[in-house]
Structure 1
Amino acid sequence: MAGFIAMAVVLGSMLVGPAAPASAAPVTFTNPLAEQRADPHIYRHTDGYYYFTATVPEYDRIVLRRATTLQGLATAAEQVIWRKHGTGEMGAHIWAPEIHFIDGRWYVYFAAGRAEDVWAIRPYVLESSAANPLDGPWVERGQLQPARSSFSLDATTFVHDGQRYLAWAEYAGSNSNIYLARAVNPWTYAGTPTLIATPTYAWETRGYRVNEGPAVLIRNGRIFLTYSASATDASYAVGLLTASADSDLLNPASWSKSATPVLASDSRTGQWGPGHNSFTVAEDGSDVIVYHSRNYERYLGNGYDPLSDPNRRTRIQRVYWNADGTPNFGVPVPDGVTPVRLRAHDLPDQYLRHWEFRVRLEPNVANLADSQFRIVAGLADPAAISLESTNYPGYYLRHRDHQLWVQRNDGSDLFRQDATFVRRPGLADPAKVSLESVNFPGQYLRHRDGLAYLEAVSDAAGRAAATFALD
């Protein structure tokens, strides 16, 4: 037991401890990371590999892949590490696998029904002592113990303050709720589980009354537990529970629930039903949310069954942090390369953002997507760059009468030139960037009096105002 707890502290802190500062050139990703892979879970291990598992649409097996980078998981070879039983327990609906490394061994948590009763779903655990979990072999530890007596799934685990916890979702009455318990070992919990979340808000009860898919991120003196709510169609959304790091996590009063979802369908970015997330850390030390969504809108009705729809896709994007230490997930970003923010060199707590389409500089941008831009090949010169708005795809940062705006590409030569910039080493810091106009050489994007302009810069203050860190 002592060895289990000691190793859990070390390995758990790797997953959910303080993140390293992000570098000046953040890692970007291309979405989707994987087609037809739902309920994704990515674990970053000390061996230098990321391990990725997810639900397959046939619901009949557990797959695993690994790569030394997050983006590398997109093309990594996939290995089947376990298949469902032909009869009895673990014989149907193989859902939501998670992989964890605990006390020197690998563990996979997953949900499964009985072959003869596919809705008798419970959480199960596999164990492997292999150095490379793709090689196996895997031992079946059976149901989470003590065994649950009702529909239950989505088991996860985390360590806080030297104690490992197990969390899962379970049906009770007309609701799917989230429960938390202290772990004795990776497949056994002690005492009576604590109910910490039940669906109460309208956005949690669309189609079904659901709180499920818990995932934990520990930062800034708080425990953040995300969960997914409502039916698994376009209604699906991510909610947030928060507890103080010094509170009793098994006291329901320690947890507060955000009144609105923190990640939801977005018609502008073309992402529907984001949910069932996990967290990992990117190569640059930044926090990353891993989740699935569909790229089309479908709701229950007219015979539509989301569980028969295979097209949930694994996606990843950076987690940002508000000034008060809470996470900001923004919107599910459009497919393609993930966006960045431009942080002022001389005002490092302030970012370029659009407000009523005028580009300005502001701190604490609560509507995160207003400050996110996707760097793409220049509209007027593919060797240069253009910056596409995240929450208004097809709109680009462009200068007009030497003011900076975010506007829709009208296809004209003038627009393409106004929206194209040459990326230069930062005028005030070569490790950062400055953006020079292609049609007004020598003039740079800069901020002045809280607004963004295109101007020539000649003094130190101007060079500083025309220099930005990518964040």
Structure 2
Amino acid sequence: MPHPSRRLILGLAATAPLAATGALTLGAGTAHAADSAYVMAYFTESTTMLEANYGLHLAVSTDGLRWMPLNQNNPVVTPTLGAGGLRDPFILRKQDGTFVVMATDLKGTDWTRTSVNIHVWDSADLRTFTGYRLLKLHDMTTTHSWAPEAYWDAGRGQYGILYSSVNSSGHNVIMVSYTTDFKTTTNPQVFFDPGYDVIDGNLTVGVNGVNYLYFKKDQTLVGARSTSLNPGSFTPFSTPVAHGGTEAPTVVKSLTSSTYYLWGDTYTPNGVFYAWQSTNLAAGTWTALDQRLYTQPLNSKHCGIQPITSAQYDNLVAKWGAPAWNRLKSYNYPARYVRHSSYVGRIDEYPFDPYTDSQWKLVPGLADSSGVSFQSVSHPTRYLRHYSYNLRLDVNDGTSSFAADATFYRTAGLADASWSSFRSYNNPTRYIRHSNFVLRIDPISTSTEQQDATFSVGY
């Protein structure tokens, strides 16, 4: 949630033993040995609020780093109670294997609005959502219930729901309310109050006998730890990290390695995810992750992540569908994406509006179907083509020369074979590259030019 209580998350999954259930746990979600993919919940905003949508959005990933929006980046369900919109959605797989989805009861950016409730759905498979309701967390009617997350407290035999509220001293603290069914809650109390403003609590349970709580403090991400889950038992310990003003921490662990990731969002309405990595949570220090390695769903905000099985992944894609468009990320400027602006092809730093200028349909090549042509989503009669070696967005006039100028062969990336490069159909010694952030086709020889001509095709 924005100031004074705003957060946005992204993450991977967990692999630590949990009691006698045979499950594995890390963070607020529960991971099982069969898990091999991830689902993300989020809402959307963009720089001019062109893409402000406060429904529940879903994306999936096989590695927890590169995300594919479902349902064309449209919501899969929209709240109708309370404020009629949500922020900060979170997915928890419960002990019985079904899911519960929670979210802040807030539409838009009216931070003065208070609510004792959060939105809640039940779901067996995240393809259908049932039992939609508002869940009351406390009786403090003059404050909020922001950024809910839940975890299983085995010692209590209950779920704890963490959320941000203002205490009697006037600063934000992290609260907890307990539940067994996500229909009623009991015993709301302060979970963490170090004496200064803290929000956006994200809990990692049971790593070598220690529990870790990450939170936002002064637009930085900080960790506290405790050997119990008792309210009031956590002590701050880690070195703060930030990328500008940063909020919404989530710590998650790869399903395939020993690496932990700490995710945060920039403190703006058009937030950008950043990630740090560590192989030792106890050390409390983090190293920035290369932006080439991760890509957030377009315009995503304040996300919640849950590990899932490959079958659940396949079923979600079958239900909601993959995007009919792509975005292209620059290799040597990974914060920048291919877009058109005033019909000129270029790479610009994400985020920007109109965001649709960076969406492309990679269709069979107009001159050779074994190649590709880049059809604009925002201007579907126009394609990227070269003219005097510069790339621009022109209307397809149906001529063979236009088709040739607009056709490219996709090859292994010149700087990284796991990425892509695009060779011109009618100038086969030339590739699409950026020069001073403007796109053109050029012969490629130096390592810098190879990097300029390498792109990731994603979403």
TM-score by length of 2: 0.44
Larger RCO: 1 or 2 (CA < 8 Å, sep 6+)? 2
